[in-house]
């Protein structure tokens, strides 16, 4: 059917093209006839042979005539235009048209190129159509097996799906089988959807339980995949690591934690796949207690790593304060015993010196006795300070404004005169013993005054009171100190001042520790020192 339809279509096309070609040729001939009529009328109006020649030459251009030949009854023959046209015109070829005029028979010769072009176009189109028909039939015959093979395969597969009624044709059988297959797929899809919803419900319940357990953990929890990428992190972990609640955490652990030591340890744990139990890791200013266990699947394949950690920083600080208090207590016991013995002996020595001064002594001997009494008196004062340091302290807690404490200390020092300019800035409040805090600040500020004493008016002391966390920071531009000596200078009887007893900073440290705080000392030689006393926030 397809081949027959194609042949009929091509035959009809050739017939139509033949008619178009014949009509085009007739149109050309009619144009020639019209041109010959118009030119013959113009030539008939000629008045002389020269006028006749002139009109003939004009007609050649105006009417697209190849040549004009005039054969008079008598006289000389006239020819204008192409020589080949003249020959054709005389012989009366198919390309010439003859007209009678008063000058004789006129032969108009036209160019046959238009007719030949029409004929050649028809021939080329007919050849192309016939070639296309042959090619199309060849290709159709070639591709018929490819067209029918899928249908045969569909029929074979349809026979595997359902039996065929003997009265059904191929199309009906395929459509019925297709409908049955679609119905089965819909049934299976509904069943799969039901199973998927059931599994999804179980997964949601499992996720809910997991999220609830993770959220209920007071310790930090991080789940990592085999590439050390964070999968999950609970709120406690975000709080410990300083990650905002809305910040995405599904990043590589090194990228999330900015390449910290904790990130390195977690990445190494994932790579090794080994358990890490209760190790301490420094993360920024925190001390982290970390336990990491691998999550293994079938065939011991690593699925990821689970890490639990907690912030040990408060515990470390508490341990440090406990150690400091134990050290102070031990030093206090030793100092109390020494001071007691020193005070008794010094009292006896001062008594004998006073008795000795009642006698008449030579001038040099009297001066030496007075010098000995002065040294003994100063030593007695040092012993009293030592007893003050060793004496147990009981805190009388109350709301204390740290700015008022610092300001009172500065006013008392200014009242004595010869003190540098001291500036107090900021505000902060804690629960503490005002009298003890005042004594601690007084000792620290007096050390700063001594440190800038050699600078005179150029000496500067600044006291900054902070509230988050509460702290008192004392800065000076005095002689300074070496950071390597900072821890040693906080111990009793250690001082870098000539004639100093080394008890002022020790007493300040003891008072800070009793308040649950700590004291830190920093500086640089020749560039001043910074003493920072920090306290827990007021409840």
SS3 sequence, 290-325? EEEEEEECHHHCEEEEEEEEEECHHHHHHHHHHHHH
Q: Measured at the alpha carbon of residue 316, what is the angle toward residues 312 and 317, in degrees to the nearest 5?
A: 120
Higher-scoring residue by pLDDT: 27, 181:
27
Residues 404, 513 within the same domain: yes
pTM score, two decimals? 0.41
Residue 457: inside a domain, yes or no? yes
* Residue 196 forms part of a structural domain: no
Tell me, what's the pLDDT at 89?
37
369 and 290 co-located in one domain: no
- Does residue 472 register a pLDDT over 90? yes
| Number of structural domains the chain divides into | 4
Kindly state whether residue 275 falls inside one of the protein's structural domains. yes
Predicted local confidence at residue 330, as pLDDT: 62
Query: Which residue, among 324, 328, 321, 307, has the nearest Cα to 392 in the 3D structure?
Result: 328
Separation in Å, CA 483 to CA 411, 463, 506: 30, 20, 17
Note whether 420 and 507 are same-domain residues. Answer: yes
Q: What is the pLDDT of residue 498?
A: 65
pLDDT at 332: 60
- Looking at residue 181, its pLDDT comes to 80
- Is residue 40 a part of any domain in this protein? yes
Same domain, 46 and 99: yes
239: confidence class by pLDDT, cuts 50, 70, 90: confident
Percentage of the chain lying above the pLDDT 90 cut: 8
- Same domain assignment for residues 379 and 404: no
382 and 420 share one domain: no
The reply to whether 173 falls in a domain is no
300 and 333 inside one domain: no
The residue from 390, 413, 444 where one domain ends is: 390
Domain boundary (289, 311, 333) is at 311
- In this structure, the answer to whether residues 293 and 349 fall within a common structural domain is no
Question: Where would I find the beta strands (DSSP E) of 112-226?
Answer: 220-224
Which of 390, 416, 439 delimits the end of a domain? Answer: 390
Least confident of 16-25, 143-152, 186-195, 407-416: 143-152
* Higher-pLDDT residue of 364, 246: 246
Is 100 or 475 the better-scoring residue by pLDDT?
Answer: 475
Q: 516 and 404 share a domain?
A: yes
* 428-445: b (≥16 Cβ within 10 Å) or e: bbbbbbbebbbbbbbbbb
**If you count them, how many residues does the chain have?**
539
Residue 125 domain flag: no
pLDDT tops 80 at residue 93: no
User: In angstroms, rounded to a whole number, what is the distance separating the alpha carbons of residues 212 and 231?
Assistant: 16
What pLDDT is recorded for position 400?
92
Average model confidence (pLDDT) across the chain: 80
The backbone torsions φ and ψ at residue 25, rounded to the nearest 5 degrees and listed phi first, read: -65, -45
Checking if the pLDDT of 64 tops 90, the result is no
Q: Say what the pLDDT of residue 94 is.
A: 46
Average pLDDT estimate for 490-502 = 69
479 and 516 share one domain: yes
Same domain, 356 and 451: no
Give the per-residue pLDDT at 338.
65
Q: Does residue 291 lie in a domain region?
A: yes
- The Cα 284–Cα 288 span in angstroms is 10
Which residue range is the domain that position 329 belongs to? Answer: 317-390
Answer yes or no: is pLDDT of 91 > 60: no
Helical pair 504-514 and 434-451, crossing angle rounded to 10 deg: 150
Residue 305 belongs to some domain of the structure: yes
Query: Is there a single domain that holds both residue 346 and residue 444?
Result: no
């Amino acid at each position: 059917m397809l081949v027959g339809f194609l042949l009929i279509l091509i035959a009809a096309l050739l017939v139509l093209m033949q008619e178009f070609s014949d009509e085009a040729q007739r149109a050309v001939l009619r144009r020639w006839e019209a041109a010959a009529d118009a030119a013959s009328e113009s030539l008939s109006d000629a008045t002389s042979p020269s006028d006749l020649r002139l009109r003939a030459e004009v007609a050649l251009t105006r009417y697209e005539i190849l040549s004009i030949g005039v054969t008079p009854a008598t006289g000389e023959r006239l020819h204008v235009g192409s020589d080949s046209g003249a020959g054709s015109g005389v012989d009366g070829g198919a390309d010439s048209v003859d007209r009678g005029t008063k000058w004789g028979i006129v032969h108009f010769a036209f160019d046959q190129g238009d007719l030949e072009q029409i004929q050649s176009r028809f021939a080329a189109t007919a050849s192309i159509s016939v070639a296309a028909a042959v090619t199309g039939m060849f290709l159709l015959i070639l591709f018929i097996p490819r067209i029918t093979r899928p249908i045969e395969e569909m029929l074979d597969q349809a026979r595997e799906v359902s039996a065929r009624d003997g009265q059904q044709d191929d199309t009906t059988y395929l459509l019925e089988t297709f409908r049955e297959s679609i119905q089965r797929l819909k049934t299976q899809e509904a069943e799969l959807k039901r199973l998927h919803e059931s599994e999804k419900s179980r997964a949601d319940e499992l996720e809910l339980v997991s999220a609830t357990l993770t959220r209920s953990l007071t310790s930090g929890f991080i789940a990592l995949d085999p590439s050390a990428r964070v999968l999950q992190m609970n709120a406690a972990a975000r709080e410990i690591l300083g990650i905002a609640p809305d910040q995405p955490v599904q990043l590589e652990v090194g990228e999330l934690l900015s390449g910290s030591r904790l990130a390195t340890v977690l990445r190494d744990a994932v790579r090794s796949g080994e358990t890490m139990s209760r190790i301490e890791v420094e993360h920024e200013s925190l001390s982290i207690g970390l336990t990491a266990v691998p999550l293994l699947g079938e065939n011991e394949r690593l699925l990821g790593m689970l890490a639990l950690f907690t912030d040990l920083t408060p515990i470390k600080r508490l341990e440090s304060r406990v150690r400091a208090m134990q050290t102070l207590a031990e030093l206090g016991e030793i100092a109390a015993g020494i001071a007691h013995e020193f005070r008794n002996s010094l009292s006896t020595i001062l008594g004998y010196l006073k008795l000795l001064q009642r006698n008449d002594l030579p001038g040099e001997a009297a001066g030496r006795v007075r010098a000995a009494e002065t040294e003994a008196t100063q030593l007695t004062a040092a012993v009293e300070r030592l007893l003050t340091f060793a004496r147990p302290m009981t805190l009388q807690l109350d709301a204390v404004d740290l700015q008022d404490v610092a300001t009172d200390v500065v006013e008392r020092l200014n009242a004595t005169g010869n003190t540098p300019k001291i500036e107090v800035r900021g505000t902060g409040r804690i629960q503490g013993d005002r009298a003890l805090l005042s004594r601690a600040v007084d000792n620290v500020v007096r050390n700063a005054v001594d440190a800038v004493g050699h600078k005179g008016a150029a000496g500067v002391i600044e006291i900054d009171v902070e509230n988050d966390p509460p702290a008192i920071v004392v800065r000076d531009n005095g002689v300074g100190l070496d950071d390597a000596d900072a821890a040693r200078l906080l111990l009793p009887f250690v001082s870098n001042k000539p004639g100093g007893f080394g008890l002022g900073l020790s007493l300040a440290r003891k008072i800070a520790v009793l308040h649950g705080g700590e004291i830190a000392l920093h500086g640089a030689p020749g560039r001043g020192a910074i003493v920072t006393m920090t306290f827990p926030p007021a409840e």
